[in-house]
Amino acid sequence: MLRSLRVRLLALFSIVVTFAILIYIIYQGRDTLLTYDWQIDWCAVALAFGVLIATFAIVAFTWVAEMRAVGSTLPMSVHLDYYVASHLFRRLPGTIWYIAGRSYLYRQQGESARLVAVVSSLELVLLTVGAALVTVMLWVAGFQPVPGGYLWVLIATVGIGALLIQPRSSRWLLKRIGKVDAPQLRYSQLICWLFSYVVAWIGSGLIFYLLAYAFTGLGSEHLPYTIGAWALVGALSTLVFFLPSNFGFTEIGLTLLMTAVMPMSVAVVLALTVRVTLTAFDLLAVGLWFGGEAIWRRVNPDANLPFPPVNKD
């Protein structure tokens, strides 16, 4: 009960802060938003939300697999609750907050906060490598979202990331920084997680395209380019991860890249609208998760959790 209260309080706090930021974004961009000629395809918006739910499920269950791989025996529902509760902190200025939120929740369950921080860092590296791989693959296929010189930056990102996540390196980080004697990760696990994040980046790029289509009528011939632009900005955003705030980096990057397929003024509106829409989507998704969980507990009062605990045998 106490665990559930902590999770809900953290989720409520993140929802309130995220909602305040959403209002601030709308207020700051009110002139641009009010002067735009809105013709919205609501079916595309609804489809984008459906893809977001599927993508969210992929990354959430990948997180569960990562925590179990390093020895955590908490029930799946606990991992999912903590992932969802801390997810909105990704929307706050200064991305480090979502790791702090996760660490706090896991520490209440007796898990090492250092371990959670190291696994979150591994997740970040895998996400970055996945984004770079998506961009490089689209580059090879002929859809080039950036000038040729940046290709080497992406290839270097993949190479450095591969060195950081290989089993010996990850085990060293877990022992020296995480201060735990976690089992050594296998290449098969790392490749599976990386593949999951590649799929997730393609999915989130598809969300970006669907919203671009819904708000600006962007043609389907620009779908690969749009996915590549989204993945590229995602990979580059890691460069400002440790700054006090990377707020606005994604919007600026998307605006600059999307000017290749639309006027600058429309690209500005798109970047701002996508930020607002994705924040609203996240609020709705988190609300649906905890609302659904509350209904589950009410309908099944004798069931503590919607998922059984981990079998240690």
Lowest pLDDT segment from 12-16, 24-28, 196-200, 307-311: 307-311
Summarize the confidence of residues 12-27 as an average pLDDT.
62
d(CA 25, CA 115) in angstroms, rounded, equals 34
pLDDT of residue 306: 45
Structure confidence at residue 266 as a pLDDT band (50, 70, 90): confident
Contacts 24+ apart (CB under 8 A), 261-267: 261/218, 261/222, 261/225, 261/226, 262/216, 262/218, 266/216
User: Would you state the structure tokens that stand for residue 89, as one six-digit string?
Assistant: 């902190």
Question: How far from the centroid of its chain's Cα atoms is residue 133's Cα?
Answer: 16
Structure confidence at residue 44 as a pLDDT band (50, 70, 90): very high
Summarize the confidence of residues 184-209 as an average pLDDT.
92
Most confident of 63-67, 120-124, 175-179: 63-67
Average pLDDT, the chain: 78
The label of the residue with tokens 């696990």 reads: 189
pLDDT exceeds 90 at position 63: yes
- CA dihedral sign, ordered 118, 123, 126, 127: negative
Structure confidence at residue 307 as a pLDDT band (50, 70, 90): very low
d(CA 20, CA 161) in angstroms, rounded, equals 35
pLDDT of residue 46: 96
Those residues whose C-beta lies under 8 Å from the C-beta of residue 185, and which sit 6 or more positions away, are 69, 70, 167, 170, 171
Residue (of 218, 173, 222, 164) closest to 194 by Cα position = 164
Q: How many other β-carbons are positioned within 10 Å of the β-carbon of residue 58?
A: 15
Summarize the confidence of residues 80-100 as an average pLDDT.
75
In the chain, domain spans? 2-32+44-299
Lowest pLDDT segment from 19-23, 151-155, 212-216, 274-278: 19-23
79-99 burial, b at 16+ Cβ within 10 Å, e below that, comes to bbbbbbbbbbbebbeebbbbb
- CA dihedral sign, ordered 130, 166, 237, 133: negative
pLDDT of residue 255: 84
pLDDT exceeds 60 at position 101: yes
Structure confidence at residue 313 as a pLDDT band (50, 70, 90): very low
For the chain, the DSSP string reads: -HHHHHHHHHHHHHHHHHHHHHHHHHHHTHHHHHHS-----HHHHHHHHHHHHHHHHHHHHHHHHHHHHTT--S-HHHHHHHHHHHHGGGGSSSTHHHHHHHHHHHHHTT--HHHHHHHHHHHHHHHHHHHHHHHHHHHHTT--SS-TTHHHHHHHHHHHHHHHHSHHHHHHHHHHTS-S-PPPPPHHHHHHHHHHHHHHHHHHHHHHHHHHHHHH---GGGHHHHHHHHHHHHHHGGGGTTSS--TTHHHHHHHHHHTTTS-HHHHHHHHHHHHHHHHHHHHHHHHHHHHHHHHHHHH-TT-S-SSPPPP--
